[in-house]
Structure 1
């Protein structure tokens, strides 16, 4: 079993500064994906019985979150940045997506079949499928951050332009997710070092904790944080 992937070091700067924000926010998002992958690898081999379905729901939420993020990058965010950075400025990131997204989709298909009763749960197979793409994906998650470096943003964008892009991105992101899975996942796969991420308004944060987390409450026990955002010790008992 691979050792847990380390979290990305956050770029320097101020999260509230829109020029610094692009790289810092992206690093925080990538760390949430790493937290999720690490949790899947940790728990997959020992999950059994009544814990299988909640774990599969957790795992699907992780996979869907990663896939959704990269899809929005390609269909919206990168295009908006390239209007000022130049056509093809983010092409390298898109090419990197193609090196691991197909394997990610294969993992999702297997997890969906397990949940539907079409496949038998096999934790070792899940780890194997993760290993087929995780090294490449984590390398990409690290490589993408310098592309959004603050001085590069400041050279071509105004603060308002970046705020407008971010606002439109969040609107599209929230329009295409299942609030009962993606939002609780964002809490339990968070990072205590970045309590401001995701940048949700306080009422939504409370709604996540007390409402949206309820439907699949057993699934969020696999996250490294509890629903209040506090770290918890892993429980790998079957």
Structure 2
């Protein structure tokens, strides 16, 4: 189902890698989790790209307001992901490997799409109080401006991480990953980040094969997200690819 789902285009989901020979299990697990996270960002952006013309043309003011908040949540989640990498994940990997500058190529890739990505966020912030101003052609042009370098970066990160596992097998990558995730979560808007993350994560992808690598948040976090954190922007999550049970929605929003 996942390969044919409406949230898999126009931007292609990443194929979850098989474990290469010589890569420690912890590095492989982190690479799988990263690919799964990248795919929830991809599903979210695909939803924005597909829903924008529909909402702009036929949506009510409330539909447009909800869509704007969904787009802002997508940016918040992706921005937090990349900021967390730059502030904690990459530096800690470099320090553990004893190799300053090891992750510089990844940071350089961030710089390529940073400005057009920020322009996307700025646009939605600018119309947040005037939803009727939503212009779908402009939204698509903003996405097109950063999509190619963004997806090149997301694609490159996975083999890069696996290769580092071969070269620096003693780096405690699992602990580094967990530590940076906790620090990153302290910086985000829980009302945007958590509902977006949970409702665009397909737990059943590839028949649930990857659940052991990334089972999703603890049960209490899921419950709090579904009934508390999601409530202020509850209409926005209509545009998510999944339910709060992390199962794919069969159809797009009907307007």
Query: TM-score scaled by structure 2?
Result: 0.83
Give 1:202 deviation, angstroms.
2.3
Provide the C-alpha distance between the structure 1 equivalents of 2:130 and 2:106, rounded to a whole number of angstroms: 36
Deviations 1:177-220 (A, max 9, x none): 11121111112211231556474222212221222222211111
2:13–2:39: 8 Å Cα contact kept in structure 1?
A: yes
Provide the C-alpha distance between the structure 2 equivalents of 1:66 and 1:99, rounded to a whole number of angstroms: 15
1:58–1:222: 8 Å Cα contact kept in structure 2?
A: yes
Q: Residues 198 and 78 from structure 1, CA distance in 2 versus in 1: closer, same or farther, beyond 3 angstroms? A: farther
What residue number does 2:237 align with? Answer: 220
Give 1:85 deviation, angstroms.
6.0
Give 1:5 deviation, angstroms.
1.2
Unaligned runs of 5+ in 2: 1-8
Q: Does 1:36 align with 2:41?
A: no
Query: TM-score scaled by structure 1?
Result: 0.89
Number of residue equivalences: 233
Identify, as 1 or 2, the structure richer in helix: 2
What residue number does 1:23 align with? Answer: 31
1:67–1:101: 8 Å Cα contact kept in structure 2?
A: no
Provide the C-alpha distance between the structure 2 equivalents of 1:81 and 1:222, rounded to a whole number of angstroms: 35
Q: Does 1:51 align with 2:43?
A: no
Provide the C-alpha distance between the structure 2 equivalents of 1:37 and 1:95, rounded to a whole number of angstroms: 22
Moved more, 134-143 or 119-128: 119-128
**Correspondence list, 1:133-212, <5 A:** 133-149=146-162, 152-153=164-165, 155-158=167-170, 161-191=172-202, 192-193=204-205, 194-195=210-211, 197=214, 199-212=216-229
Provide the C-alpha distance between the structure 1 equivalents of 2:164 and 2:252, rounded to a whole number of angstroms: 43
Provide the C-alpha distance between the structure 1 equivalents of 2:166 and 2:180, rounded to a whole number of angstroms: 19
Provide the C-alpha distance between the structure 1 equivalents of 2:146 and 2:174, rounded to a whole number of angstroms: 33
Q: What RMSD, in angstroms, separates the aligned Cα atoms of the two structures?
A: 2.3
Unaligned runs of 5+ in 1: none
What residue number does 1:131 align with? Answer: 144
Give 1:120 deviation, angstroms.
1.6
